[in-house]
Amino acid sequence: MNTSRTKLTRLPKRGAHDAETIYPILDAALVCHISYCIDGQPFIIPTAFCRIEDTLYIHGSVGSHFFRELAKGVHVCVAVTFIDGLILARSAFSHSVNYRSVVAFGKSRLVEDEAESWLALERITEQIMPGRWADTRHPNASEMKKTMVIAIPIEEASAKVRTGGVNDDPEDLALPYWAGVVPLSLTYHTPVPDEKRIKDVPLPDYLKG
Amino acid sequence: MNTSRTKLTRLPKRGAHDAETIYPILDAALVCHISYCIDGQPFIIPTAFCRIEDTLYIHGSVGSHFFRELAKGVHVCVAVTFIDGLILARSAFSHSVNYRSVVAFGKSRLVEDEAESWLALERITEQIMPGRWADTRHPNASEMKKTMVIAIPIEEASAKVRTGGVNDDPEDLALPYWAGVVPLSLTYHTPVPDEKRIKDVPLPDYLKG
């Protein structure tokens, strides 16, 4: 998964093109950013997604301009980014962040096969909350009619990962500035039940902890 | 800040074009996604940034393909996205997320004025960690020479925000599935001092709490 579009010219030691690095980053994300071009003008849309083998899937309204554009089959770029920590160096120049990111390229395709659409919707739901699909009312015919599923077969992809600590120049180490890492993570807070509930349903196991 | 590029066709009640909505979302972000096109091929790069008035600034290496492309002056799209909560509805179709997002459009410009570059670098550092610029060694001439600063004057921008709870159809409210919101937030963990420190510097106030 490495051609000129994903060749890393800066800091190549941070780059990877193997599925073992790329897939876990994609699979951990709640949202991706997708871009496409119309007459040289780039557009970006953030959206939920899932990965099945080497294809990404997104879903949206059949009335959406964005989805109607992608249904034509266009070149897209998909990015997933996690910021895992702030690297506060003694020099401003050496400031950085720890991160995991993937950039993938492919051509969008309208999914017309019902089974493929259904599986994509299941996996998109599961990507947001594993265990949820089996614990929800599945789409009916009218809802499926309003929903467009787009596939993006990954033609190329690359991952970039930075981990570790501060990389100040040796001559900066004695400077009187605090230096170190501020770790960051996404916190899932206590689930808040819907006020409009008619009966109390116990919190499912997949939402505990 | 509203033309055809940012007209919202879906759920227009969630859209806004006023600076009072857009700026706080931009100003809270650690990273943005920037896309541009080369011969109809979209590219996305995640990067740190700052906003000064109605201009976004990014910085990078003079050796970066991405920055050299933006130095030419090209159409870019910038996206900032926060996911604030998972909306787990009784129906799969009504699942959603609470979010704040901004999409902005502009043409990139290489910053050649030294004072403008310097201010951008200060603000980018402050965007990552307010209070940090005054507590770090500032860039020297050699570092400035390796750094490219790009300005992106915002020509158009729109924000989309979803808040609140589950919007299940009335006929789904009695279904035996748990429904509600899982709030999400980014957590800043206890700072970890650099192992390579020569002397202990007390944790600065801006990193406490």
State how far the Cα of B108 lies from the Cα of B37, in Å rounded to an integer: 12
Residue A23, token pair as written in the block: 């897939």
Mean of the per-residue pLDDT values for chain B?
93
Beta-carbon separation of A42 and B37 below 8 A: yes
Beta-carbon separation of A191 and B204 below 8 A: no
Domain range B4-185+201-207, its CATH number among 3.30.70.1560, 2.30.110.10, 1.10.3720.10, 1.10.10.10: 2.30.110.10
Q: B12-46, pLDDT tens digit by residue?
A: 456 788 999 999 999 999 999 999 999 999 999 99
Q: A69-78, pLDDT tens digit by residue?
A: 999 999 999 9
pLDDT for residue B94 is more than 90: yes
Q: A16-35, pLDDT tens digit by residue?
A: 889 999 999 999 999 999 99
Residue B113: CB atoms within 10 A of its CB come to: 11
- 80-119 in chain B: CB under 8 A from chain A: 81, 83, 86, 88-93, 95, 97, 99, 101, 103, 105
Q: What is the pLDDT of residue B30?
A: 98
Of A13-27, A84-98, A142-156, B120-134, the range with the lowest mean pLDDT is A13-27
Q: What is the pLDDT of residue B13?
A: 54
Q: What is the pLDDT of residue B199?
A: 85
State how far the Cα of B180 lies from the Cα of B174, in Å rounded to an integer: 14
Asked if A95 contacts B125 with a C-beta cutoff of 8 angstroms, the reply is yes
Q: What is the pLDDT of residue B1?
A: 47
Q: Name which of A9, A64, A129 is nearest B63 (Cβ-Cβ).
A: A9
Q: What is the pLDDT of residue A1?
A: 47
- Per-residue confidence band for B6, with pLDDT thresholds at 50, 70 and 90: low
Q: What is the pLDDT of residue A209?
A: 78
Query: Does the CB of B195 have a partner CB in chain A at under 8 Å?
Result: yes
Q: What is the mean pLDDT of residues B104-130?
A: 97
Please indicate whether residue A12 or residue B64 has the higher confidence score (pLDDT): B64
pLDDT for residue A91 is more than 80: yes
Please indicate whether residue A8 or residue B94 has the higher confidence score (pLDDT): B94
- For A207, residues 6+ apart whose C-beta sits below 8 A from its C-beta are A129, A191, B88, B178, B182
- Per-residue confidence band for A174, with pLDDT thresholds at 50, 70 and 90: very high
Q: What is the pLDDT of residue B10?
A: 45
Percentage of chain A lying above the pLDDT 70 cut: 93
Query: Does the CB of A169 have a partner CB in chain B at under 8 Å?
Result: no
Residue B76, token pair as written in the block: 């870019």
Question: Among A178, A113, A105, A103, which Cα is nearest to A144's?
Answer: A113
Taking CB atoms and an 8 Å cutoff, what residues of chain A touch B90?
A: 136-137
Residue of B nearest to A81 (CA): B46
Query: Does the CB of B123 have a partner CB in chain A at under 8 Å?
Result: no
Beta-carbon separation of A177 and B133 below 8 A: no
Block residue for tokens 């550092």? B125
Q: What is the pLDDT of residue B68?
A: 96
Q: What are the Cα distances from residue B110, in Å, to A128, B64, B114?
A: 39, 13, 11
Q: What is the pLDDT of residue A2?
A: 47
Q: How far is A45 from chain B (nearest CA, A)?
A: 8
pLDDT for residue A137 is more than 90: yes
Taking CB atoms and an 8 Å cutoff, what residues of chain A touch B186?
A: 184-187
* Pure H helices in B6-81: 19-27, 65-71
Query: Does the CB of B207 have a partner CB in chain A at under 8 Å?
Result: yes
Question: Among A123, A31, A196, which Cα is nearest to B99's?
Answer: A31
Q: What is the mean pLDDT of residues B104-113?
A: 97
- Per-residue confidence band for A9, with pLDDT thresholds at 50, 70 and 90: very low
Q: What is the pLDDT of residue A199?
A: 85
Q: Name which of A93, A185, A186 is nearest B139 (Cβ-Cβ).
A: A93
- Per-residue confidence band for A12, with pLDDT thresholds at 50, 70 and 90: very low
pLDDT for residue B179 is more than 50: yes
Domain range A4-166, its CATH number among 3.90.800.10, 2.30.110.10, 2.40.50.140, 3.40.50.12280: 2.30.110.10
Mean of the per-residue pLDDT values for chain A?
93
At residue A69, the 3 state secondary structure works out as helix
Amino acid at B72: K
Beta-carbon separation of A95 and B136 below 8 A: yes
DSSP-assigned letter for residue B13: G
Q: Which of B44, B94, B148, B171 to mutate to test the interface with A (most CBs of A within 10 A)?
A: B44
- 130-159 in chain A: CB under 8 A from chain B: 132-133, 135-140, 143, 147
pLDDT for residue B11 is more than 50: no
Percentage of chain B lying above the pLDDT 70 cut: 93
Q: Name which of A95, A204, A207 is nearest B125 (Cβ-Cβ).
A: A95
Residue A92, token pair as written in the block: 């401003």
Beta-carbon separation of B182 and A172 below 8 A: no
Of A8-17, A174-183, B60-69, the range with the lowest mean pLDDT is A8-17
Question: What H or E segment, with its residue span, contains residue B57?
Answer: strand B55-61
- 42-71 in chain A: CB under 8 A from chain B: 42-46, 48, 60-61, 63-65
Q: What is the pLDDT of residue B69?
A: 96
State how far the Cα of A139 lies from the Cα of A91, in Å rounded to an integer: 54
| Number of residues written out for chain B | 209
